[in-house]
Amino acid sequence: MHTLELILAEHAFFKGLEPRYMQLITGCASNVRFDARTYIFREGEAAERFYLIREGKVALETFAAERGSIVIETIEAGEVLGWSWLFPPYQWHFSARVVEPTLAIALDGVCLRNKCEEDHDLGYQLVKRVAQIMMQRLQATRLQLLDVYSFRA
């Protein structure tokens, strides 16, 4: 049986992070489960957590007036869902709809932000990792926009 700390330490997002940080982070973590066709969060809501997906699939969506919901990216096992917990105004920029039953580890954003304020080295390590996710999402959004606007040509 794996402990939550071991599961977190083995996840790609936290790979290589010092063990002392893993102990702090584990204190902000909990296991969660989501049923298919439910929303983990919706665009504009308060961003209070982020998620390490262990099993299942989650569609990251945005809403466009003329097109309805547009899937930007599908997040699967081994990936991270959410970065808005780290940056003011702490609101989700996308919606996350569960495609198939999903198991994840939820990390409390307020808890982590407080730990980052206490230890700026930890904060820097987390910001670097979150920046990578933001870049991936930005690229995925860019590709979706190119696809959306190519239908109009």
pLDDT of residue 153: 47
Task: State the pTM of this model.
Answer: 0.84
Domains and CATH numbers, the chain: 3-145 (2.60.120.10)
pLDDT one-digit tens code per residue, 77-93: 999 998 899 889 999 99
Q: Cβ contacts of residue 32 below 8 Å, gap of 6+?
A: 51, 103, 104, 105, 106
Q: Cβ contacts of residue 129 below 8 Å, gap of 6+?
A: 13, 14
Residue 98's nearest CA partner among 76, 79, 80 is 76
Decide: helix, strand or coil at residue 38: coil
Alpha-carbon dihedral sign for residues 73, 93, 134, 110: negative
> If you search the block for the tokens 């904060």, which residue do you land on?
123
pLDDT one-digit tens code per residue, 104-144: 999 999 999 999 999 999 999 999 888 888 888 788 777 76
Decide: helix, strand or coil at residue 127: helix
